[in-house]
Chains A and B, each alone.
Chain A
Amino acid sequence: MTRNAEAVLIAAVATLASIGVAMVQFAGGTWLDADVALTFIAFAFTFGLIHLAFRAWAPNANPLILPIAGFLAAVGFIEVFRIDPSLAALQRWWLAIAGISAALVVWLLRDSGVAVLRRYRYLFLAAAIGLLLLPLLPESWPIHGAVVNGSRLWVRVTVPFTDIDLSFQPGEVAKVLLTIFLASYLADRSEAMATVSRSIGPIRLPEPRHLGPVLVAAGAAFLVLMYQRDLGASLLLFALFIGMLYAATGRGVYVVSGLVAVVVAGVVAYQQFAHVRVRISAWLDPFADFTGAGYQTAQGLFAMGSGSLTGSGLGLGRPDLIPEATTDFVFAAVGEELGLAGSIAVITAYALFVTVGIGIALRCRDRFRKYLAGGLTILVGIQAFLIIAGVVRVLPITGLTTPLMSYGGSSLLASALILALLGRASHEERV
């Protein structure tokens, strides 16, 4: 595999995306229009730009991450286009912005490498917590929080002297910054944390002063998210934290105690918060409250059920009936129009992404790079798992975006950062 092969695969991704768009239009009876060409241009520009940045400043970067990410973005984009072409038009701009940002990150790290991030870990921690707190700003301020679907996750900025509102979800980027912090912290302390200093019965714990700061950091982020009622993000963050601790120390006790903590927290949350109870009952029996809490899950199930093995065909189903079909439930939309086959293709693509990402991490000799690559991969993998598991009713709905596939600028921007950092980390390993 070379950079040239990467370029060919990226061209294939752009072609796939535009073929999908063409098929949606074809099925809808409209003859092909500029959307097909614009889609090709958007994908070729976005991933081509990151590809060129890799060529220029990270020539030994792993050549497979971009094509896999592009594939997921393409499948997601086709469904977004099918449900709402005007949203897709915006998504093309988000793609372009994400591409530019990723290229910019690769350029910024051209001389210093990702190692420079290690030094500023507390800056990243502060920035992440700050971003997570942004949605709590009062409504009267020019930058203020906004409640969407019962969770206070959004920030709206009113551009001065105009009526234009820009909104974004700062939590998406905060996750990536937190991963950088954790990787940096663990790179310095992993040995100390793997050694056992005291035992409470069968449980053996490391020295508290090593675990302290990282617990405080995770706890703070966790509390903010709980306060904002963002169950998905708190769960994701917790899983990331446990996954990275395990990766850094190789001690299963972290995984076991993490799982126990999740169960305990789940039971407590179930008893304390009404919105958690609603989610759980909608999970156990979505048809009990079909028109209410269970509606989204039930519609998703109907969609995937009617999709059957090969789906209704692009543009021939009714994924627009599923609430949030362009973001959280984009997987159900794929299940309806491309069937089980398409769903398996999507899951396979995520699995390949994780394979490549973990492969990069395993190859890294430097601890920080290793944990960074591993953490970012865990982040994408767990997020995809949590939301897809929610859609197919393996877990309760957690309300996360589907990485790379969902409509949304914040989510794409976060993914672009991950691609840039993974690419750069793999490049440095092979120099």
Chain B
Amino acid sequence: MPALILNALKILFLLLLFLFLWQIAGAIRVHIGGRGSAPRGKGATELVVLRGDVTKGKRVKLRGSGHTVGRSPDADIIIDDPYASDFHARVSAENGQTRVEDLGSTNGTYVNGRRITAPTGVVKGDTVQIGKTMLEIR
């Protein structure tokens, strides 16, 4: 058998092996909730609760007047989280700019893991942590 063909076959087989593993790795990434499908950037339209117990508003469309997040039954997004204040934070979208604002909560609001002290601009793909609840801007 010509060496060239055998070599080509060998490389082809190795490629097949790695193609298979690539498929699996991709599936694992989706499985463990990698951010592969939601690219970061502009055009944020939604606020989604990734982790935590939500009584109301697991997924809301952002609006200009904003949403309040907290434990109070009057909040727009009601989370059942002992570490959250009644009105904990507000997420608003004005002129295409999405902002997160802490409403003087006890335990603070974190954007991408950093505690915020003033209204903070966020983009698609950023995470917002309130108590033990994790939200994502999409």
State the A residues within 8 Å of B (CB): 1, 5, 9, 12-13, 16, 19-20, 23, 26-27, 29, 62-64, 67-68, 71, 75, 310-311, 313-314, 316, 338-339, 341-342, 345, 348-349, 352, 355-356, 359
The B interface is mostly helix, strand or loop, or mixed, namely helix
Q: What is the minimal beta-carbon distance from A179 to any residue of chain B, in angstroms? A: 23
Q: Which of B6, B24, B28 contacts A313 (CB 8 A)?
A: B6
With A1-B30, A19-B13: A27-B6 Cβ-Cβ less than 8 Å: yes
A352 close to B28 (CB less than 8 A): yes
Size of the B side of the interface (Cβ < 8 Å), in residues, is: 21
Q: Which of A1, A23, A316 contacts B27 (CB 8 A)?
A: A1
Q: Mark B7-20, 1 if CB is under 8 A from A, else 0.
A: 10111011011101
| Number of CB contacts from chain A to chain B under 8 A | 75
Q: Which of A9, A342, A349 contacts B23 (CB 8 A)?
A: A9
Is B35 positioned at the interface, with any CB of A under 8 Å from its CB? no
Q: Which of A12, A23, A316, A359 contacts B13 (CB 8 A)?
A: A23
With A27-B1, A64-B28, A316-B6: A20-B20 Cβ-Cβ less than 8 Å: no
State the B residues within 8 Å of A (CB): 1, 6-7, 9-11, 13-14, 16-18, 20-21, 23-25, 27-28, 30-32
Query: Which chain B residue has the least Cβ–Cβ distance from A315?
Result: B6
The A interface is mostly helix, strand or loop, or mixed, namely helix
B14 close to A342 (CB less than 8 A): yes
Given the complex of chains A and B, what is the CA–CA distance between A359 and B28 in angstroms?
9
Known A9-B23, A27-B6, A359-B32; 9 more pairs at CB < 8 Å: A20-B13, A26-B1, A26-B6, A26-B9, A67-B20, A71-B21, A313-B9, A314-B10, A345-B21
With A310-B10, A313-B6: A19-B28 Cβ-Cβ less than 8 Å: no
